[in-house]
Every structure is written in C-alpha cells, then in structure tokens.
Amino acid sequence: MTNFDLIVIGSGPGGYVAAIRAGQLGMKVAIVEREALGGICLNWGCIPTKALLRSAEVLHLTKTAESYGVKVDKAGFDLPAVVKRSRGIAAQLSGGVKHLMKKNKITVVMGTARLEKGAAAPTVMVKDAKGKDTKYTAKHVLLATGARARAIPQAGLEPDGKLIWTYREALVPDVMPKRLLVIGSGAIGIEFASFYNELGSDVTVVEALDRILPAEDEEISAFARKDFEKQGLTIHTGAQVKGLKPGKTTVSAEITLGGKTETQTFDRVILAIGIVGNVEDLGLETLGVKVDRTHVVVDGFGRTGVKGLYAIGDLTGGPWLAHKASHEGVICVEAMGGKTEDAHPFDPWNVPGCTYSHPQVASVGLTEAKAKATGRKLKIGKFPFLGNGKAIALGAGDGLVKTIFDAETGELLGAHMIGAEVTELIQGYVIARQGELTESELMETIFPHPTLSEMMHESVLAAYGKVLHM
C-alpha cells in the first residue's frame, strides 16, 4: 500500500502515539522511521538515561548500605554491564513499539522521508537503505521528526564522537572519565552529571546563566546546587566555555568565570547546551513551511499552514518533553479526524517537568518569580522532607515541596519539588491543576500514611498557616 489517510514521519513518543490514536479513529496509517522505532526518547534519550541513573542509584544504596543496617562487602560496578543493561531496555521498548504498530494495524516504513508538493497533502518520498525511492500519498501528513543536540561550531563547541560527546556518546561510554566537563545545566546536563559523579568521575558543570536548572524555581535551583556540591560536583554559573581543543586522549577547555579565563583539562566533555529541530532535508522550504530558529511554526492543533501538513513534538519547540509530544499528537489527530467533539488546542500551561538526578527535581506551573510577575497576591507553602516519616524511613531526608497559590481565588499556580521520587509525586499537582482544584479541596483530600505524598498535603496546609507536622 502506498496511499493512506495519514502518514506520520518519525516514530518517537509524539509520532507513534499519534499513529495509534489515528488507528483507533479508523484511519489507515503509515509511519516512517529512518533509524529505530521509538525515536530518540526510547533509544537514545528518556529511557536509556533512566536505566543508567537506576544503576547509579543502586550503587549509591550499596555504598550507604551500612546506614540501613545492611552489610555489603564492597560496592562497585561493571561499566560494560551497566551500559549493556541500558541498551537492552531501550531495545526491549523499541520492540514494544513495533508490537503496538502491528496491533493497531499501522504500516511501518523504514527509510528517510522527504516531502514534495501534492494534492490533498504533500507527497512523501521515502528512500530505503538500498537507496530506492518509493512514493507515498495521504490525506494528512504529520511531521514528528524530533530534535538533536545543539552544537556551536563557531565557538568550538562541536562533538567529535570520541572526546567531546552529545547524549548519544554519553549513553555508551567506552571508558569512565576521571575528569568530566558538562556544558549546560538543564535536565540533560544535570542527569549525566549526577550519573557520572556517582560512578566516580570528577565532574565540573559550567552554566552560562546565573543558576543551574534555570527553568526551575529559584529556591529549588539553589537547593539542588547545594546538594550537588555536597556530593562533590564542581559547579560554575555565570560562566562560559570559550572553546574546546581535543588532543589525543584529553580535551582542553577555556573557561571564563568572573572576567578571568583559565584552561582546564578533561578526559571527556558532554555538550548539553540545548537542542535544535530536525528540519533539514525534508523539503520544507519548497512547501513554504514557516520555520523559526529550527522549529516548525504551528497552531494549537499542529497545523503548519500548508494544506494537509501538521507537526508536533520537539520539532515545534519547547517544552522539549516526550509527554508533551504525545499529548500534542493525540490533539492533532483528533482534530484532523473530526471524530472528537471536545478536541481542544494544545496549551503548555500544565506540562510537568522532571529531572531524574539525585536528588530528583519536578515542577508544574509558575515559579514564584513568574507568579509574582503576574501581579497577583500569593500564598506560598513549603514543607521539608525532614518532616515526613516515610522520607526519614527511606533515609531520604533531604528535599522540599513548595506550592504557590493565588491568595484571592485559591488557584494552584505552581508546584515545585526536590527530593526522592518527586518525579512520581508531581502528577498529583498536575491533576489538581487540570481539575482546577482550589486550596480548600486539596486540604480536604485524604493522603495515605505513611507516604511521601503527605508532604504535598502539608505544603498546601503551610500556605494557609495550617501545617500540622512542622
């Protein structure tokens, strides 16, 4: 078959979820993938990094086992085995996507896609591994080609795949670097810094802005920095790497801090300075698709302005998160299918963010600074992990839960958390915001004991002077 209702280009969390939803709506669907089903997230991003971080977490527990009354003769790790486990999990989940495609009767086409002008929608030309071109047509075409690591060649910040890494090389290290430089302190940079630090690397993080995790609430960022530095990370903020000079086995980095430039030597460097959309070689220019700083411009339903052509996920800009892409994919397909009466445009107001470092960081909604900038009167509640019985029992007393409310309406404007398992807890606040729950409804909700979730309740109570366990 070469004619479909929908052709999806890219099989990451945005693309494959969109394809499944389209299949559920009765569409005849094809999905085009040039590398591996599951895209970057399942193969080179979200999933394999979490597998590595889990190994680091287990190592940390063995190192600290004595504090739990458990005896471990010697805590150590096998790097090839750690990497092998991570790659095996990625392969397993990629295979799971293949099963989902078959289950939902979605045609999988392996190859590289390029768009040409068509009738109802652009024509899709796919070049397979042997160089053969095949023409595919559809009523709708959905771009979900994702993004890749950003490089700045003019500043000497360009990966070589050997000594200067992106997330791909960092996931499959050939050696454990003694000295590691991480450029950028967003979620990707901090997660790798946390992993390599736990496994014994001397890690330095350089961030151009004035604080790490700059998308997070300032108080949470400060808490995280203090904790990371206590673990041994060296962190430079308000600093820049002016250039990298790879040698045979090491890399020299010119780091400017406080107006002074010094040269430091590292075994490996990880570039985590952002991402750029995969817009090249798709034929977008010929079609007249609007692209802004490597990202395709779309409306709330993923429409590009070109008849029959849509785009979702990292390709369309931030927040660059897998769950955002999946949500966009469902909205886009439901709108184009016309079979869901309550199809609504995508709005990033309630997209949660998670960083799986040690400690974990999670948030949703406005930071304190952004909430104040709206001019509203605020009620802010905070509760420390040290006041929670389950956290103490886990040996995870470092952490904080912070909630921000509109003082007049009781609207939950934002929630920010740092500590054990907060990436699992944050969804409670996401649901509260989605359901438009007020402070009184959250206060009246029963939270099970003993759980970490009780801190969420206490933080709400604290915002209104009713905290119980502090």
Residues annotated as part of the active site: 449
Structure tokens at 291: 């692209």
Confirm if 211 and 218 have CB atoms less than 8 A apart: yes
Residue 260 CB-half CA count within 13 A? 5
Distance, in Å, from the CA atom of 31 to the CA atom of 11, rounded to the nearest integer, reads: 7
Secondary element (H or E) of residue 434 = helix 422-434
Strand pairing of 268-271 and 164-165? parallel
Phi-psi category of 22—alpha, beta or left, where left has phi over 0 and alpha has psi -120 to 50?
A: alpha
Name the DSSP letter for residue 152. Answer: B
Relative orientation angle of helices 13-24 and 322-337, to the nearest 10 degrees:
30
CA distances from 42 to 27, 89, 114, 288 (A): 25, 9, 23, 31
Amino acid identity, residue 5? D
Cα atoms in the Cβ-side hemisphere of radius 13 Å centred on 123: 11
Left (φ > 0), alpha (ψ -120 to 50) or beta: where does 111 sit?
left
Dig out the tokens for 324 from the structure: 């955002």
Single-letter amino acid code for the residue at 318 = G
Q: Taking Cα atoms as reference points, which of 226, 207, 215, 232 lies closest to residue 400?
A: 226
Dist CA 98 CA 29 (whole Å): 14
CA dihedral in degrees (316, 318, 319, 323; nearest 10)?
10
Residue 319 preceded by cis peptide, ω within 30: yes
